[in-house]
Amino acid sequence: MTLTELIQRIQHSFGKGGSKDEAKSRLLLVLQDDRLGLTAEEKEALRQDILEAIRKHLKIDAEGFTMEFVSSPTDQNKMHVSAPVQVGRGPANFSK
Amino acid sequence: MSGRAIVVTSGKGGVGKTTATANIGLGLASQGKKVVLIDGDIGLRNLDLILGVENRVVYNIVDVVSGRCQPRQALVKDKRISSLFLMPASQIDEKDAINTDQMRDLSAQLKEEFDFVLIDCPAGIEQGFRNTVAAADEAIVVTTPDVSPVRDADRVIGLLQSSLGEPQLIINRMSMDMVKRGDMLDQQDVLDILAVRLLGIVPEDEAVVIAGNKGAPVVLNGGSPSGDAYGRIARRILGEDVPIPELNGHNSLAKRLGRILFGR
């Protein structure tokens, strides 16, 4: 038995690491979309609008910009936006 | 008297709606309640077969709403528990043979005489779903711990919330072995995803298949895990505080060690 196998077996014995974790995360993701009822185009438009809105005020790295919808038992239906802000020394980097 | 009309629904077909309706109905009736089950699946009649009363069906729900007979004439009385009745579906009519108002009126009429009107909803979210939901005051959603039924249950819960309010959930066909291995969503997983109140968990049980073969629902014979689960569900519906057994797949230490050393 390799160490990886042993770890997997320990995880399984606690009901973890099985295929249900994949089922749960896939469901949470797909249900977010189902519940929002937004088309792919509408989501992209929203993404662009938020990206532009932030860019008006801050220098951000568009590559690293992400927008995702998450659901958990405690906070249902939240939108998480992550924007890597490029901050230098001195005054804030306003692009205007 | 004004009884409670409860629709049993799921979105996805094949998750055990009809079996659940039959067992909950018998469970409530065996607690002394007067219960009528309405088979709302027009064109695909099955509740009579699950209950084992198929040979005694004369008239059906379409005959009643189209005035060919009185509701009383269509009701089939259960021979085992005399306070349980079935309003059978029609097997030959189209599924849109009844409209929402007719269904609502029938339910209201039956509520005058019965403590519980349990309505078995057809699969899907079309007219048959809308009719049975319109005729109900409360809803029970049945799902199995699989990805597509859970997704469809979520859709149905969304639709119900805008009409009947918060439904209650039954998780059917839970396999303890698979949950323990981490290969099946457990009750907490399903509740995390669907965020509704849990009415009960029915374990995977061969007895359900045998009961279907015989037309004698599991709740009638004590001792089967699924029959006992339905018995507890019926008591919860009656307002009793019956705890839901933890089926979250926690293994004993010895079992865990065994699995670690010798695999599954």
Three-class DSSP labels, A25-75: HHHHHHHHHHHHCCCHHHHHHHHHHHHHHHHCCCCECHHHCEEEEECCCCC
Separation of alpha carbons B154 and B146, rounded Å: 12
Residues of A in contact with B180 (CB under 8 A): 15
How far CA B239 is from CA of A57, B24, B236, in Å, comes to 57, 14, 5
Residues of chain B whose beta carbon is less than 8 angstroms from a beta carbon of chain A are 146-147, 150-151, 154-155, 158, 179-186, 189, 191-193, 195, 248-251, 255-257, 259-261, 263-264
Burial level of B231, CB count in 10 A (0-12/13-18/19+)?
Answer: buried
According to the model, what pLDDT value does residue A56 have? 92
Determine contact: A53 vs chain B, CB below 8 A: no
Helix, coil or strand: residue B120: strand
Q: How near does any CA of chain A get to the CA of B246, in Å? A: 14
Span of A72-76, B42-46, B77-81 with lowest mean pLDDT: A72-76
Q: Is the pLDDT of residue B246 over 90?
A: no
- Regarding predicted confidence, which is higher, A60 or A33? A60
Q: Is the pLDDT of residue A62 over 50?
A: yes
Q: How near does any CA of chain B get to the CA of A78, in Å? A: 14
* pLDDT band, very low/low/confident/very high, at A45 (cuts 50, 70, 90): very high
Mean pLDDT value across residues B56-72 = 96
Q: Which two tokens stand for residue B41?
A: 């699946």
Separation of alpha carbons B237 and B139, rounded Å: 11
Separation of alpha carbons B148 and B131, rounded Å: 24
Q: Is the pLDDT of residue A96 over 60?
A: no
Residue of B nearest to A74 (CA): B192
According to the model, what pLDDT value does residue A68 have? 83
Q: How near does any CA of chain A get to the CA of B230, in Å? A: 25
> To the nearest whole number, what is the mean pLDDT of chain B?
93
Q: Which of A13, A16, A24 sits opposite B259 (nearest CB)?
A: A13
Of the candidates B113, B106, B108, B88, the one whose C-alpha atom is nearest the C-alpha of residue B35 is: B113
According to the model, what pLDDT value does residue B259 have? 62
Mean pLDDT value across residues B102-127 = 97
According to the model, what pLDDT value does residue A6 have? 77
Subunit contact B151:A21, Cβ cutoff 8 A: no
Q: Which two tokens stand for residue B130?
A: 């809308």
- Cβ distance B245 to B211 under 8 Å? no
Separation of alpha carbons B248 and B185, rounded Å: 9
Separation of alpha carbons B176 and B184, rounded Å: 9
* pLDDT band, very low/low/confident/very high, at B132 (cuts 50, 70, 90): very high
According to the model, what pLDDT value does residue A20 have? 95
Give the count of domains, chain B. Answer: 1
Given the cut 0.85, state whether the ipTM is greater than it: no
Mean pLDDT value across residues B148-161 = 96
Q: Which two tokens stand for residue B140?
A: 């029970």
Helix, coil or strand: residue A79: strand
Of the candidates B137, B119, B162, the one whose C-alpha atom is nearest the C-alpha of residue B10 is: B119
Which CATH number do you get for residue B115?
3.40.50.300
Domain that holds residue B29: 4-262
Q: How near does any CA of chain B get to the CA of A26, in Å? A: 8
Q: Is the pLDDT of residue B261 over 70?
A: no
Separation of alpha carbons B249 and B257, rounded Å: 15
In sequence order, what are the residues at sequence separation of 6 or more whose Cβ sits closer than 8 angstroms to the Cβ of residue B213?
A: none
Q: Which of A15, A21, A27 sits opposite B193 (nearest CB)?
A: A27
Q: Which long-range contacts (CB under 8 A, 24 or more apart) does B253-259 make?
A: B255/A13, B255/B180, B256/A13, B256/A14, B257/A13, B259/A9, B259/A12, B259/A13
According to the model, what pLDDT value does residue A91 have? 57
